[in-house]
Amino acid sequence: MIRTNDLKKVYTTEEVETTALNSVNLEINQGEFVAIMGPSGCGKSTLLNVLGLLDSPSDGEYYFLDQEVSAFSERQRASLRKQNIGFVFQSFNLIDELTVYENVELPLLYLGVPSKERKKQVTEALDQMAITHRKDHFPQQLSGGQQQRVAVARAVVGRPQLLLADEPTGNLDSIHGDEVMKILAELHEKGTTIVIVTHAPQYADYGSRLIHLLDGHVVTENLKGVSNA
């Protein structure tokens, strides 16, 4: 599903050049649950952004669904993104002015799903996250855990093949964190490919594969169980 070849990302400001990703070679297959770990500033989020087509690499090749996308335009990336990729963020990133229902509905609007079908899918997604009773509330009226469940519902409502989560538990206490991770695990079991960035080793263990990043390099890459051996 994902294959990168010598992927590089360099940030340039007026005086400083920062290399966030350096020669990253990575392959992620359909149905995998990959966890990315590493210290602050090692390039985890950058990698996720590039994989999620939010950002384009400075150099190297990136094959997404067997297409070389590194040179795609903003418009092409947006189109690819909305059809195939769901995102979950540490800070939830729900739109404050929209209700729970409307937040979840948003990706379907961009996909041009007809109204009836939309209603069905949103209701399903909310049911799946057990948040239906809150559908007419605004994000600020919910707890962090609830907000993240809404965010996950929004990420999966369009049935993307790939779900990217950037420290989805980072702003949550452990009870709510566990809850969210369980949901992700369930989604994985149903066939969604998941890539998650996390600080917490216990959550990294949900993954079938663990990638350690340091200073923009992949330092270890272990299949589950191998890291603990």
Partner 1 sequence: MFKNYITIALRNILRHKTYSFINIFGFTIGIASCLLILLYITHEMSYDRFHEKADRTYRLAGDAKIGNAEVATAHSPAPTAAGFRNEFPEVEDATRFFNPGEQVTRYQDKLFNETGLLYADDNFFGVFDFRLLQGDPATALLEPNSIVLTEESALKYFGTEPAIGEILTIGNDNTAYEVTGVVQNPPDNSHFDFNMLLSMSSSDRGESDVWLNLFLYTYIVLREGNSPEALEAKFPGLYQKYMAPQLQQFAGISWEDFEEQGNRIGFFLQPLTSIHLHSNLDSELSPGGNPINLYIFSAIALFILLIACINFMNLSTARSASRAREVGVRKVLGSARSNLVRQFITESILFSILATILAIGVVELVLVPFNNIAGINLTFRLFNHWWMTASLVALTILVGIIAGSYPAFYLASFKPVDVLKGENRVGKQSGRFRSGLVVFQFAFSIGLIISTMLVFRQLGYVRNKDLGFDKENVIIIPNINRLGNRVAAFRQELKEQSPIINASTSSAIPAHSGFGGTLFKAEPPEDTGEGPTFTEEDQEFNNFSADYDYLETMKMELIGGRNFSPEFASDSAAFIINEAVARRFGWEDPVGRDIYVTGWEGQPRYRVVGVIKDYHFESLHKDIKPVVMSLGTTGNYLMARIQPGDVNKTLTMIEDKWREFAPNIPFDYSFMDEDFDALFRAEQSFGRIVSYFTGLTIFIACLGLFGLAAFTAERRTKEVGIRKALGASVPQVVGLLGKEFTTLLLIANVIAWPIAWYAMSKWLQNFAYRISLSWWTFLVAGALALLIALVTVSYQAVKAATANPVEALRYE
Q: Which residues bind partner 1 (CB under 8 A)?
A: 45, 49, 52, 54-55, 74-75, 78-79, 81-83, 87, 89, 91, 93-98, 102, 105-107, 109-111, 154
Of 85 and 210, the one with the shorter C-beta distance to partner 1 is 85
| Paired tokens of 82 | 């909305």
How far apart, in whole angstroms, are the C-alpha atoms of residue 21 and residue 130?
Answer: 38
User: Quick check: 201 and 125 in contact, CB under 8 A?
Assistant: no
Residue reference for tokens 């538990």: 169
In the complex, least distance from residue 97 CB atom to partner 1, rounded to whole angstroms: 4
In the complex, least distance from residue 229 CB atom to partner 1, rounded to whole angstroms: 36
How far apart, in whole angstroms, are the C-alpha atoms of residue 146 and residue 100?
Answer: 10
In the complex, least distance from residue 83 CB atom to partner 1, rounded to whole angstroms: 7
Of 67 and 220, the one with the shorter C-beta distance to partner 1 is 67
In the complex, least distance from residue 33 CB atom to partner 1, rounded to whole angstroms: 21
Give whole-number Cα distances, 142 to 31, 137, 177, 178, in Å.
32, 8, 15, 18
Of 107 and 207, the one with the shorter C-beta distance to partner 1 is 107
How far apart, in whole angstroms, are the C-alpha atoms of residue 210 and residue 56?
Answer: 23
In the complex, least distance from residue 147 CB atom to partner 1, rounded to whole angstroms: 13
φ, ψ dihedrals at 102, nearest 5°: -70, -35
Of 161 and 208, the one with the shorter C-beta distance to partner 1 is 161
Of 81 and 176, the one with the shorter C-beta distance to partner 1 is 81
